[in-house]
Structure 1
């Protein structure tokens, strides 16, 4: 299987599992990855991101294979937008 076939075979759900494995060193079920498995997962994640990552986070591989860096100001602006979506509940106000 070549790289193009591999990236086309990865579903969004499989990508999330691969990403979790790379970030934590284990599968969501808890099975630990060997270093070679983790390296292979990282390559698959980077290939997937290079094709599908339309909204690259700070220091990720953006669509087209370019490494994307966001400044601190850009990240703060992005997170401030996300804050407006959060509903805050004061536990003292609950009856």
Structure 2
């Protein structure tokens, strides 16, 4: 269980690094991105491990990756400026 949690945290850190490297211009500060990736992976591992029980290590890591990517995607900002017209224009 400890190795599974450490593996999930490492997976979340790797996914956060990849997101910060690839989409750095659309994300907030790097410490927030890294902590969100790790926390999302640990939460995903916890939920998957609770649902499937012990013995499903690879599926728990898959669940950790899915939740980490989903939580990192919530940090993304729009790519360009939004040009909205006012109601009076």
Structure with greater strand share of residues: 1
Structure with greater helix share of residues: 2
TM-score (norm 1): 0.30
**More relative contact order, 1 or 2 (CA 8 Å, 6+ apart):** 2
**Higher-Rg member (1/2):** 1
TM-score (norm 2): 0.31
